[in-house]
């Protein structure tokens, strides 16, 4: 984890951009302090509960990167009144009007970034749309604070090559910078130009015009990231420790006590060139066991077998053997747990226990 974080932070320095790590993967202040460039941020969160939690641990500069709903504005204002520099995101004239009206009424200008759609995968307005500048005009000088534009190239997770990621990264950059230029050309301020995803942050060739990058899963990495070439399997810093509790010899199955509850239902590698089932299997020291995957999952039972499905290919490891499951998706697997057990390298000794938060 420390190596992953160090690599990403150095990369951001080399590219000459600010770094606003996304804290939604770990939801843990111990991990997050190691990711951020200062204990006060900048940082990105995906829920207001995360904002509350990290603010209570001294993180001040926060971006809530999910489109705001009107019903959440009083909570946002309350956090700001207590000292959090919390910024929000929206992508419609209608929501901009609601935020401007709320800001006027409460006499507190809420800082807003306009979300740009750079790849059609989720939310946002198009960089060339009339709505972009219209939203800017509704926000600026009417009570709210127009703070910039932001996007997330979520489609980078579906890339099949490094070249494809580089192309997505350049489109993410170019469209967001273009959006900022259009906002400025309309006579409006646009200080923040915020982009990011772990794949595009890892492979962007330059970030001219961008003010800051957001990325999150890079601290832990996972099999989906390894599958698209963003990390090596050995970089994956999160695993689920489990114990062999049974054998089904005829089928070549090891039964373990980690089911989908422990690793999540995420099957993100199902459509990649190597389907890792519910996770790849390592020994307790974290060394992958060639060919072994978690091929099936009940709530508290895992089925571990050889990816060839040849029953003779699975080593019938003794009952009590401890294994580690590398996750498809670190955000999803982390969310099934309430704490992290920290180990240094391959050592089995737990050097710390770090709590995390969940839910809303």
- Point out which residues bind a second copy (CB under 8 A): 24, 46-47, 66-71, 91-92, 94-95, 98, 117, 120, 122-123, 154, 243-248, 251, 255, 257, 260-262, 264-267, 298-301, 303, 319-320, 329, 331-332, 335-339, 358-360
Shorter beta-carbon distance to a second copy: residue 162 or 357: 357
Taking the complex as a whole, the smallest distance from the CB of residue 154 to a second copy amounts, in Å, to 6
- What is the C-alpha to C-alpha distance for residues 94 and 120, in angstroms, rounded to an integer? 20
H helix and E strand count, the chain:
11, 16
Q: Which is nearer to a second copy, 215 or 331 (CB)?
A: 331
We find the least distance from the C-beta atom of residue 25 to a second copy, in angstroms, to be: 9
Are 108 and 101 within 8 A, CB to CB?
Answer: no
**Minimum CB distance to a second copy, residue 204 (Å):** 21
Q: Cβ 38 to a second copy, closest distance in Å?
A: 25
Q: Residue 240 CB, nearest distance to a second copy (Å)? A: 10
How near is the Cβ of 94 to a second copy at its closest, in Å? 6
User: For residues 350 and 341, is the Cβ–Cβ distance under 8 A?
Assistant: yes
Nearer to a second copy by Cβ, of 154 and 277: the residue is 154
Our CB check for a second copy shows the closer of 23 and 84 to be: 23
Say if CB 304 and CB 324 are below 8 A apart: no
DSSP state of 274: S
Q: How far apart are CA 87 and CA 108, in angstroms?
A: 13
Buried b (16+ CB within 10 A) or exposed e, 286-303: beebeebbbbbbeeebbb
* Residues 218/222/228/232 CA torsion (nearest 10 deg): 80
Distances 290 to 40, 284, 313, 315 between C-alpha atoms, Å? 43, 14, 10, 10
């Amino acid at each position: 984890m420390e190596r992953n974080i160090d690599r990403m932070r150095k990369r951001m320095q080399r590219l000459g951009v600010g770094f606003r790590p996304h804290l939604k993967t770990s939801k843990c202040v111990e991990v997050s302090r190691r990711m951020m460039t200062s204990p006060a941020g900048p940082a990105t969160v995906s829920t207001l509960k995360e904002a509350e939690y990290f603010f209570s641990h001294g993180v001040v500069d926060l971006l809530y990167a999910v489109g705001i709903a009107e019903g959440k504005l009083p909570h946002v204002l309350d956090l700001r009144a207590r000292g959090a520099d919390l910024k929000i995101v929206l992508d419609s004239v209608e929501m901009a009007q609601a935020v401007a009206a709320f800001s006027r009424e409460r006499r507190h200008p809420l800082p807003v970034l306009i979300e740009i759609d750079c790849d059609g995968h989720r939310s946002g307005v198009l960089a060339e749309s009339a709505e972009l500048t219209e939203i800017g005009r509704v926000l600026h000088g009417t009570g709210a604070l127009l703070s910039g534009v932001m996007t997330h190239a979520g489609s980078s997770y579906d890339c099949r090559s490094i070249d494809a990621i580089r192309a997505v990264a350049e489109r993410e950059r170019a469209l967001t910078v273009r959006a900022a230029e259009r906002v400025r050309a309309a006579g409006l301020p646009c200080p923040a130009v915020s982009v990011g995803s772990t794949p595009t942050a890892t492979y962007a060739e330059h970030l001219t015009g961008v003010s800051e990058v957001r990325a999150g899963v890079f601290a832990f990495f996972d099999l989906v990231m390894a599958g698209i070439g963003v990390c090596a399997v050995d970089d994956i810093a999160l695993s689920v420790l489990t114990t062999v509790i049974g054998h089904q010899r005829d089928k070549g199955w090891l039964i373990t006590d980690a089911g989908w509850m422990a690793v999540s239902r995420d099957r993100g590698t199902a459509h990649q060139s190597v389907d890792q089932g519910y996770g790849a299997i390592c020994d307790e020291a974290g060394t992958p066991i060639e060919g072994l995957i978690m091929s099936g999952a009940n709530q508290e039972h895992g089925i571990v077998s050889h990816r060839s499905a040849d029953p003779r290919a699975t080593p019938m490891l003794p009952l009590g053997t401890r294994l580690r499951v590398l996750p498809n998706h670190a955000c999803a697997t982390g969310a099934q747990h309430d704490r992290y057990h920290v180990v240094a390298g391959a050592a089995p000794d737990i050097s710390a226990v770090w709590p995390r938060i969940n839910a809303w």
